[in-house]
A and B are shown apart, each in its own frame.
Chain A
Amino acid sequence: EVLLVQSGAEVKKPGESLRISCKGSGYIFSSYVISWVRQMPGKGLEWMGRIDPSDSYTNYSPSFQGHVSMSADKSIVTASLQWSSLRASDTAIYYCAREDGWNAFDIWGQGTVVTVSS
Chain B
Amino acid sequence: QTVVTQEPSFSVSPGETVTLTCALSSGSVSTAYFPSWYQQSPGQAPRTLIYNTNSRSSGVPDRFSGSILGSQAALTITGAQADDDSVYYCVLYMGRSWVFGGGTKLTVL
Q: Are B100 and A108 in touch, CB under 8 angstroms?
A: no
Question: Roughly how many angstroms separate A34 CA and B20 CA in the complex, as a whole number?
Answer: 27
Assuming the contacts A35-B98, A44-B103, A45-B100, asked whether A108 and B45 have C-beta atoms less than 8 A apart, the reply is yes
Assuming the contacts A47-B91, A95-B45, A100-B51, asked whether A105 and B36 have C-beta atoms less than 8 A apart, the reply is yes
Q: Are B36 and A104 in touch, CB under 8 angstroms?
A: yes
Residue of B nearest to A93 (CB): B45
Interface set, chain A 29-49, CB cutoff 8 A to B: 35, 37, 44-47, 49
CB neighbours (8 Å) of B87 from chain A are: 44
CB neighbours (8 Å) of B93 from chain A are: 102, 104
Q: Which of A59, A108, A111 has the most CB of B within 10 A?
A: A108
Is A110's CB within 8 Å of the partner chain B?
yes
Interface set, chain A 93-115, CB cutoff 8 A to B: 95, 97, 100, 102-111
Question: Roughly how many angstroms separate A2 CA and B3 CA in the complex, as a whole number?
Answer: 32
Q: Are B89 and A108 in touch, CB under 8 angstroms?
A: no
Q: Are B97 and A105 in touch, CB under 8 angstroms?
A: no
Is A61's CB within 8 Å of the partner chain B?
yes
Q: Are A95 and B98 in touch, CB under 8 angstroms?
A: no
Question: Roughly how many angstroms separate A30 CA and B48 CA in the complex, as a whole number?
Answer: 21
Q: Are A111 and B103 in touch, CB under 8 angstroms?
A: no
A→B interface (CB under 8 Å): 35, 37, 44-47, 49, 59, 61-62, 95, 97, 100, 102-111
